[in-house]
Amino acid sequence: MTATEHPGYMTFSDLGLSEDVLRAIADAGYSEPTPIQAEAIPYVLMGRDICGCAQTGTGKTASFTLPMIDILAAGRAKARMPRSLILEPTRELAAQVAEAFDTYGKHHKLSKALLIGGENLSDQAKVLNRGVDVLIATPGRLIDMFERGHLLLNDVKVFVIDESDRMLDMGFIPDVERIAAMLPPLRTTLLFSATMPPAIRKLAERFLMNPKEITVARPSTTAATITQGLLMLGRPKDRKPGADQKMKREALRKLIKAEQPRNALIFCNRKRDVDIVHRSLCRHGLDAARLHGDMAQSVRMETLASFKNGEVKYMVCSDVAARGLDIPEMSHVFNFDVPTHAEDYVHRIGRTGRAGREGRAFTIATSEDRKYLRAIEHTIGKPIPLMDGDTPPKPVVDEPAVDEPAADEKKAPSENKEARPAKGSDENNGGSSDTQRPKREPRQRRQREEKPRQSNEPAKEAAKGTGRPPKRDDNDTPKNDGPVKGLGDHVPAFLMRDPGTGTGSA
């Protein structure tokens, strides 16, 4: 989306940003602000609270990082007292925001720290001790560090709650409320959410003062076209257990052979299938890697790097990668499994066809997937063109499936999410959201941050009889081998660097 589609054409220099920030924007190659940037930046610079209904792909990260850089340019951070705080639901999103500060703050000397699970606590404490202007954190790790006395939040001037509906989805809202209660009342608070379910509205009412409400519609009308195809498989002739999976693997190889992708993401719903499909592709001589949430962070980073730089052509992955990859020249996406959440289909196929290029996305399905396919087709508002299994898919270039579900579908999932607080969340155990000093439970918190939800059984129960797919399972453990959460909208350079301390100067 560009500013030209926005009422009242604006350039970056109309927004009140400093010359140094404008230079960094020019270096990034942006010619004009996106609608959320055009609307939000002047208000953030004025110190107004923002309630932004926008999702990844709209340029929302820059809508808060750019003005924050200017706001924080004057002043100095004291030891253990960050001057701003950005909460993100996942480590990868946090890393992505850290990267945005590197990009846009390149002509400034702001210091930043990233507090995310999986990084060394004492290294993080050392960085906090030196004083940071920008603190980007996942809620659990932040509370952990606060409880250990490494952190004071009295000096926070700008507080960002990003991806609020995903925080809700992952059971982090009580943590967010606790954190908000530790902050000084005089501050700017910016809340972003792709959807505005009642729980997020309540959060906004509670923590935002006279906010400027900004809603941006679907991202990027400049998105490339994506050719979609659905390969419907019949019953396998062989009735042995696992025969249908074998048939799907054969179909996948056929598709790959017919399509000759430059590179491709191959999505499976379960981690164990990621492993199986990965092994199978390798056995058949295909150059494949795998990525899912059970893998160590360092291995994930290496895998992403080798895929991004073209060392491996195929990456078999869970939905963990769906929202996290921004590889401009990704030629193909294959859904080895039909996603059980319609929005995941949109995010998966949105990994290809980026930046005006053609992309191709193919889904392998069996008759058991029909109800999920119906939900997907309802979400994207059209049928996925059916392919003939024996012939290479014909290009049926369709309007882009975009990076987000249509507005009317967006509402329902999050409203359901709200009705079902994540197991282990404080909503379930009566935890107070207002406590100034949270209870001491750092270990559980760390675990929760990495494996936020323990079971999706209630969701499955709830979904029974409704014809709707069960809710997504955020637990990425082998026991509960359900689909996993997405990341952010691209692979930050940060993830490609040496794990180190995860901190540095912007």
Residues that bind ligand AMP (CB under 6 A): 30, 33-34, 37, 56-62, 326, 489-490
Listed in sequence order, the residues at least 6 apart from 442 whose beta carbon sits closer than 8 Å to its beta carbon are 143, 144, 147, 148
Q: Which is nearer to ligand AMP, 59 or 140 (CB)?
A: 59
Distance from C-alpha of 124 to C-alpha of 33, rounded to nearest angstrom: 34
Query: Considering beta carbons, is residue 369 or 404 the nearer one to ligand AMP?
Result: 404
Q: How far is the CB of 45 from ligand AMP (least distance, A)?
A: 16
What the block records as the tokens of 474 is: 């955020």
Considering beta carbons, is residue 33 or 482 the nearer one to ligand AMP?
A: 33
Burial of 404: CB neighbours in 10 Å, binned 0-12, 13-18, 19+: buried
The smaller minimum CB distance to ligand AMP, of residues 61 and 111, is found at 61
DSSP SS3 for 365:
strand
| Cβ neighbours, 10 Å, residue 244 | 17
Classify residue 173 as exposed, middle or buried by CB count within 10 Å of its CB (0-12, 13-18, 19+): buried
Q: Which is nearer to ligand AMP, 2 or 477 (CB)?
A: 2
Positive/negative CA dihedral, 58, 59, 63, 65? positive
* CB nearer to ligand AMP: pick between 220 and 363: 220
Q: Which is nearer to ligand AMP, 294 or 326 (CB)?
A: 326
Q: For the CB of residue 57, give the shortest distance to ligand AMP in the complex, in Å.
A: 5
* In the complex, least distance from residue 222 CB atom to ligand AMP, rounded to whole angstroms: 9
| Nearest distance from C-beta of residue 25 to ligand AMP, angstroms | 7
Minimum CB distance to ligand AMP, residue 334 (Å): 24
Q: Which residue type, as a one-letter code, is found at position 223? A: A
- Among 21, 215, 200, CA closest to 108: 21
Listed residue (319, 306, 311) closest to 495, CA to CA: 306
Q: Kindly state the smallest distance separating residue 65's Cβ from ligand AMP, in Å.
A: 9
Residue with tokens 């959320």: 36
Measured from the CB of residue 163, what is the shortest distance to ligand AMP in angstroms? 10
User: Are the beta carbons of 308 and 333 closer than 8 angstroms?
Assistant: no
Helix (H, G, I), strand (E, B) or coil at 41: helix
Q: Which is nearer to ligand AMP, 276 or 491 (CB)?
A: 491
State the pairing for strand pair 158-161/84-87: parallel
**57 or 82, CB closer to ligand AMP?**
57
> Smallest distance, Å, CB 181 to ligand AMP?
28
In 3-state terms the chain splits into helix, strand, coil percentages (rounded to 5) of 40, 15, 45
Distance, CA of 453 to CA of 412 (rounded, Å)? 20
Give the integer Cα–Cα distance in Å for 106 and 24: 7
Which residue is listed with tokens 């963990």? 320
Nearest distance, CB of residue 301 and ligand AMP, angstroms: 19
Decide: helix, strand or coil at residue 334. strand
